[in-house]
Structure 1
Amino acid sequence: EIMLCYPGTIAILYYRLAHSLHRLGAPFLARLISDIGHSLTGIDIHPGAQIGGSFFIDHGTGVVIGETAIIGQRVRLYQHVTLGAKRFPADDKGVLIKGVPRHPVVEDDVVIYAGATILGRITIGAGSTIGGNVWLTQSVPPGSNVSQAQMRND
């Protein structure tokens, strides 16, 4: 049931195959398989991303993981999480430079809740929790708990 009905598990299976092909020097085939997984699940994982074991995506629709993202062990993501780039660097002629690390590093044992957007080459320290709908563009140390600002009713 899990292998057939859970989109997060299905997306990870497609990613693992696509990542292997990407590392073997077959980027077109890797992107094709990645796109099939995206079409089936609504989860977009670039085959160049580096993802550790025991990775879990719960629900998953709308998850985006960029090409240079690095994800550690035992990381959990919920739906609509983006691990993206702030911008694509360009050379002095305006030509985009590919392959430059521009996506987040998520260390081991991190939980990222629904709707969080994490942008740029920042690090989410091990054991951190990132709350739902958080917009994050700065690194956080291990053990952090990041949530939206609370409104005061004085």
Structure 2
Amino acid sequence: MDRADSLLQGYPNPCRVVHVLQLLHNVMFPGKWDPETVPYNQLESFLAEKLEQVRDALLPELRRALPFRWMGQAWKTEGYETLDADGIAEESVRVLDAFLARLPVVRDLLIEDVKAAYDGDPAALSYAEVKLAYPGLAAITSHRIAHEFYTLNVPIIPRIMSERTHAETGVDINPGARIGHGFFIDHATGVVIGETTEIGNRVKIYQGVTLGARSFPLDENGNPIKHIKRHPTVEDEVVIYANATILGGDTVIGRGSTVGGNVFLMESVPPNSFVAAKHPELRILKR
């Protein structure tokens, strides 16, 4: 039973899920977390070994997670087809194979993210620096991995992955957020991107940005209605500067727009707009 007071037995193990996430980071950027450099002539065998480790570690966690498709509290109001033990085992293998088949696509997206970070930050002196040291890229890497599980309707596991990365980088991206290619988070810390956010291609945001919800409707029992659009849409080639807050599922930031720092926005803006907050009066006093 999924109850607030129930014991955590039979759930996906967070430590093992994080281990899988680390393995997948190493698949996306081979050698990043290995003590020895991976020679090019050994790359194929290196990746094969890591993917086999992913398969072995992930399959048991999928089997534990999938029952929460229908055991989770939210699904009690929505309904979901249940599976027996054999069905869970079969579905776990199907999900795992579907996820692994998507990894080349994820890798291609991350290459574009690396390029976006290098091109978007004059302080970046090499692609290696971006891959090894940029917390924004680490957060995006975890998100793109977690999002694949989310789209495959895997409960719990994607959220464990995203929250581990949130703790490490200060970037909180819900696994459900849809993000296009060439995405760059500069400085990273304090960024919040909600579940139903949609972000286009070649978007750049700075630290402290929130793409959040205004409010959400409740059902007849007073429970929040899940899976409705409640976070903003950010179209292609938008720049959002530090500490801007953009709220609401109906809010659309038009293509090519710039949102200035400290803006609080709950309405749509047309393409190629510049949105700025009125500066407060400054006083410079003699000490």
Question: Kindly tell me: are residues 93 and 11 of structure 1, through their superposed partners in 2, closer, same or farther at Cα, counting changes over 3 Å?
Answer: same
Regions of 4+ moved over 6 Å? none
C-alpha deviation, 1:76, in angstroms = 0.2
Bigger mean CA deviation after superposition, 40-49 or 25-34: 25-34
**1:25 aligns to what?**
153
> More helix per residue: 1 or 2?
2
**1:62 aligns to what?**
190
Q: TM-score, normalised by structure 1?
A: 0.95
Q: How does 1:1-150 map to 2 (within 5 A)?
A: 1-121=129-249, 122-150=251-279
Q: Which gives a bigger RCO, structure 1 or 2 (Cα 8 Å, sep 6+)? A: 1
Q: Distance in 2 between matches of 1:21 and 1:152?
A: 48
Q: CA RMSD in A?
A: 1.4
C-alpha deviation, 1:152, in angstroms = 7.8
Q: Secondary structure at the match of 1:92?
A: coil
C-alpha deviation, 1:92, in angstroms = 3.2
> More strand per residue: 1 or 2?
1
Q: Distance in 2 between matches of 1:18 and 1:7?
A: 16
Bigger mean CA deviation after superposition, 89-98 or 8-17: 89-98
Structure with larger Rg: 2
Q: Distance in 2 between matches of 1:150 and 1:115?
A: 14
Q: Percent identity?
A: 56
Q: Which sections of structure 2, spanning at least 5 residues, go unmatched?
A: 1-128, 283-287
The number of residue pairs the alignment matches comes to 153
Q: TM-score, normalised by structure 2?
A: 0.52
C-alpha deviation, 1:39, in angstroms = 1.1
Q: Distance in 1 between matches of 2:281 and 2:150?
A: 49
**2:51 aligns to what?**
none
Q: Which sections of structure 1, spanning at least 5 residues, go unmatched?
A: none
C-alpha deviation, 1:150, in angstroms = 4.1
C-alpha deviation, 1:116, in angstroms = 0.1
Q: Secondary structure at the match of 2:157?
A: helix
C-alpha deviation, 1:27, in angstroms = 2.6
